[in-house]
Amino acid sequence: MKSSVLPVVLLVAPLLVSCGSGSLADGEAAQASSTAEATEAAETGEAGEVHWSYDGEEGQDEWGDLSADFETCSAGHAQSPIDLPAHADQEPTEYLKITSTPTVAQSVDTGHTIQLVPERGASRVERDGTEFDLAQLHFHAPSEHTVDGEAMDAELHFVYATPGGQTLVVGVFAEEGTRENKVWQPFVEGAARPGTTDLPFYVAAMLPTDPTYVSYLGSLTTPPCTEGVHWVVYSTPVKLSADQIAVLEEASQGHNARHTQPEGNRTVSEGTAVLAH
């Protein structure tokens, strides 16, 4: 995977994230709204021209000092990921509905992960009356969130956004199973061969069958670490084969997971998603 900032694939003007993260050029999500494009750039590391990494002199412990735009990475008080409980005590406080349509997507190497950018209208999340549209899907290996201190083999992030600048990320854990997961194989193929187009993409089939999730208010897990992100993390992981996990590990160049952050006084609640086909 390239270590430099990814060249623009589709020509779009630089965009400004509403949470003060600066001007973000992003060509991979030209089919999404301008806000979704900027959100995608932030969540996958396309933040301006400042180079960052997960280790070393530009590693995650130094993100807050690399740029004024990245200050929240070290100064924020609601950062992600966090260590999640296996079962949250807090009663459900939100209504969450996920709709999706079978479509196709293109895989893109951002320099820090591989993402799939679907056609417009691939999926939408309704949370307490607010609608978020899917911008892209990417992965981290191993998982960024942990459960009772334990990490999973990988974590998949479906990044949603509203035209007004709100962001919601649906997280799905992945762990090693005994057979190939055919539903997730197009994503794995995209991770193995960035630039692949017309990959089958259907969110409803990719989510765990158990609709239970935990949610909390956090941040992007990559610079600029913008806070105010709604996190919805499914409790039950999907199963990928050892070969599929190995592809993601290779594409992550060892690892591309941020360390867990202090939970502070934030509330983690448990809910059940409504899946509408």
pTM for the whole thing? 0.85
Picking from 11-15, 36-40, 175-179, 273-277, which range would have the lowest pLDDT averaged per residue? Answer: 11-15
CB 203 within 8 A of CB 62: no
pLDDT at 28: 29
Nearest CA-CA partner of 238 in 169, 192, 188: 188
Question: What are 128-152's pLDDT values in tens digits?
Answer: 999 999 999 999 999 999 999 999 9
For residue 12, is pLDDT > 70?
no
Give the residue-averaged pLDDT of 47-63.
89
Question: How many separate domains does the chain show?
Answer: 1
210 occurs within a structural domain: yes
pLDDT at 254: 84
Helix (H) or strand (E) run with residue 189 in it = helix 185-192
pLDDT at 253: 86
With cut-offs at 50, 70 and 90, classify the pLDDT of residue 13.
very low
24 occurs within a structural domain: yes
CA angle 185, 190, 196 (to 5 degrees): 125
Mean pLDDT of the chain, nearest integer: 85
Those residues whose C-beta lies under 8 Å from the C-beta of residue 275, and which sit 6 or more positions away, are 97, 98, 204, 207, 211
264 occurs within a structural domain: yes
For residue 210, is pLDDT > 60?
yes
8 occurs within a structural domain: no
Count how many Cα atoms sit within 13 Å of the Cα of residue 251 in the half-sphere of its side chain.
Answer: 26
> Could you give the CA distance from residue 59 to residue 51 in angstroms, rounded to a whole number?
10
How much of the chain, in percent, has pLDDT values that exceed 90? 77
Q: Left if phi > 0, otherwise alpha if psi is -120 to 50, otherwise beta: which for 176?
A: beta
32 occurs within a structural domain: yes
Backbone angles phi, psi at 255, to 5 degrees: -170, 150
3-state helix, strand, coil in the chain (%, to 5): 20, 35, 50
CB 155 within 8 A of CB 140: yes
| Domain ranges, residue 32 | 15-276
> Could you give the CA distance from residue 151 to residue 142 in angstroms, rounded to a whole number?
7
How much of the chain, in percent, has pLDDT values that exceed 70? 81
Q: What is the CATH number of the domain that holds 67?
A: 3.10.200.10
7 occurs within a structural domain: no
Those residues whose C-beta lies under 8 Å from the C-beta of residue 99, and which sit 6 or more positions away, are 123, 124, 125, 126, 276, 277
pLDDT at 228: 97
For residue 64, is pLDDT > 60?
yes
With cut-offs at 50, 70 and 90, classify the pLDDT of residue 221.
very high
112 is catalytic: yes
CB 126 within 8 A of CB 135: no
pLDDT at 180: 98
Written as one letter, the residue type at 218 is G
2 occurs within a structural domain: no
> Could you give the CA distance from residue 39 to residue 56 in angstroms, rounded to a whole number?
26
142 occurs within a structural domain: yes
Question: What are 229-243's pLDDT values in tens digits?
Answer: 999 999 999 999 999
Q: Which of 77, 87, 112, 157 is the catalytic position? A: 112
For residue 176, is pLDDT > 70?
yes
With cut-offs at 50, 70 and 90, classify the pLDDT of residue 42.
very low
